[in-house]
Amino acid sequence: MDRIEEEEKVMKCVICHGEVIKLTDVKEEVVVGNDVVYIPIKVPVCKTCGERYYDRRTMQFLEEVGGKLNKTRAGLKEVGKVLMYEEKG
């Protein structure tokens, strides 16, 4: 059993004090220029209010990926487009 799974068993949510915190697959958003990149990660999430809990290793990973994405777009796959309507006049 790893450290995150052990913490999951003893944690209480700091926001709602809920006791159901489960390791969950989430998509973290990183903004790169005008683009939004979703990075799939697994973190403990409160099942009552949705609060996410990030350990130091996960934060370092997200910072490293964000830094790499600001330098190059290698490894990205386009999955859709976001269009914005601007009313003229």
34 domain-assigned: yes
pTM: 0.69
Here the CATH number for the domain that contains residue 16 is 3.10.20.860
87 domain-assigned: no
51 domain-assigned: yes
Separation between Cα atoms, residue 10 and residue 83, nearest integer Å = 44
What's the structural domain count of the chain? 1
Give the domain extent around 40.
3-71
81 domain-assigned: no
* Residue 66 pLDDT: 86
* Residue 89 pLDDT: 64
Tens digits of residue pLDDT in 52-66: 999 999 999 999 988
**Band of pLDDT at residue 8, cut at 50, 70 and 90:** low
Tens digits of residue pLDDT in 13-45: 999 999 999 999 999 988 887 788 888 999 999
76 domain-assigned: no
24 domain-assigned: yes
1: pLDDT strictly greater than 60? no
78 domain-assigned: no
